[in-house]
Amino acid sequence: MASSNKQTPAGIDPANHERYHAAQKVTWVSVAVNVVLTGLQIVIGHFGRSQALMADGLHSLSDLLSDFLVLFANRHGSRTADASHPYGHARIETATTLILGVFLMGLGLALLWGAAVRMQAPGTLQKVHIATLWIGILTLAGKEALFRYMMRVAKRLRSQMLMANAWHSRSDAASSLVVVAGIAGNLAGYTYLDLVAAVLVAFMIVRMGWKMGFGALSELIDTALDEQEVAAIRETLAGTPGVRGLHELKTRKMGDQALVDAHVLVDPKISVSEGHYIAETARSRVQKNHDVLDVMVHVDPEDDLRARPSAHLPGRRQLLHHLQERLGGTLPEPEKVVLHYLEGRVEAEVFLPSAFCDEPGRLDALKARIAEMVSGDDFFSAVYLHRCNAP
């Protein structure tokens, strides 16, 4: 839990207080480690004549640059929602991950090109200095420890960006293992192994950049959640009391969370307020049981996925005018009319003035006229009569 004496910068969502400070702390630790390792690898690699160690040093330099991107994204991605960004700024993390992935791919390809050029002159390959081996081992240990620390914090915060940065450190640890093997082989007399290790490191950098960039791009183009999570959300919605069916369930990632849109079927004769209550209940259940930022629940009286049979029908004013015309003035001014648009027709519930119902003759005439009308009407399939103040 974040200590109370830490000040959250202005504009940061208070709900992200702990997340913000924890991410800042872990990233600054990564910066410190990468500064030391990058300097050692590049300097010792240069003077120790190890192409593999220098390539790994550039990989560590990319870690350092990614740390600063994370600091930027953590600062701006934790800001509260505003008029221009009603869903918040979480996708700043996603965009940062995409930038980092593209950068890593470019760095890896550049290292591959450099290795290919050096392979054209195998006579220039030299035996490396023993110090490069010790620096490689130190880097391997440091990167693995950093990965474990960062991943533990990333999982606790459920931060995609921190996980990406942690895996970047793990890829650097794996590349350092390759570097140690290549340097050891070079020192054993196989001088070409240092260059082979440099090529392998470059391939690993390209692969990691591709995975990170592709994952971020998938989120930016609103790729759905995995099938298992979608099925779980579907089960939660369908299990909400009052929900009779579910269709058009759509999901998309938003940073470390998700956005959900769904159409739920309810009893077509319930009130608007009860339908709203069911929708809000479904929404809160999903947010409580899943890592979801927001849920938009659309209430349907019938399944409109296959067709929208009532789309051609007119609105209330035109329907009431039509009803009065068809009934030829036998219908008094109602106290209330409830309309149900179902299966391409309209069912009307008409609440009559109590005084009208005290005249059996007029009421019977109205009922007969209604029965005649609905048998061939273009809009109405049924008209039900009620007394508003009936006990």
- Domains observed in the chain: 14-220 (1.20.1510.10), 227-300 (3.30.70.1350), 316-387 (3.30.300)
CA torsion sign for 20, 26, 28, 34 is negative
- Confidence at 247, pLDDT banded by 50, 70, 90: confident
Burial class of residue 315 (count of CB atoms within 10 Å of its CB; 0-12, 13-18, 19+): exposed
**Which string of DSSP letters, residue by residue, matches 351-389?**
EE-HHHHT-HHHHHHHHHHHHHHHTS-SSEEEEEEEETT
Strand partners, 351: 336, 386
- Confidence at 75, pLDDT banded by 50, 70, 90: low
pLDDT at 334 over 80: yes
Query: Strand ranges (DSSP E) for 180-270?
Result: 245-254, 257-265
> Which is more confident, 141 or 56?
141
Provide the pLDDT for residue 234: 93
pLDDT at 320 over 80: yes
H/E stretch holding 346: strand 345-352
Contact 165, 153 (CB under 8 A): no
Whole-number Å distance between alpha carbons of 17 and 78: 9
pLDDT at 12 over 70: no
Whole-number Å distance between alpha carbons of 99 and 103: 6
CA torsion sign for 251, 252, 254, 255 is positive
Provide the pLDDT for residue 330: 81
Whole-model pTM?
A: 0.59
Contacts of 182 (CB under 8 A, 6+ apart): 52, 193, 194, 195, 196, 197, 198, 200
pLDDT more than 90, % of the chain: 21
The mean per-residue pLDDT over the stretch 301-305 comes to 77
Mean pLDDT of the chain: 81
The mean per-residue pLDDT over the stretch 230-245 comes to 93
The mean per-residue pLDDT over the stretch 57-72 comes to 74
Q: Tell me: the pLDDT tens digits for 102-120?
A: 888 888 888 888 777 777 7
> Which is more confident, 147 or 27?
147
Q: Would you tell me the crossing angle of helices 160-187 and 130-157 to the nearest 10 degrees?
A: 160
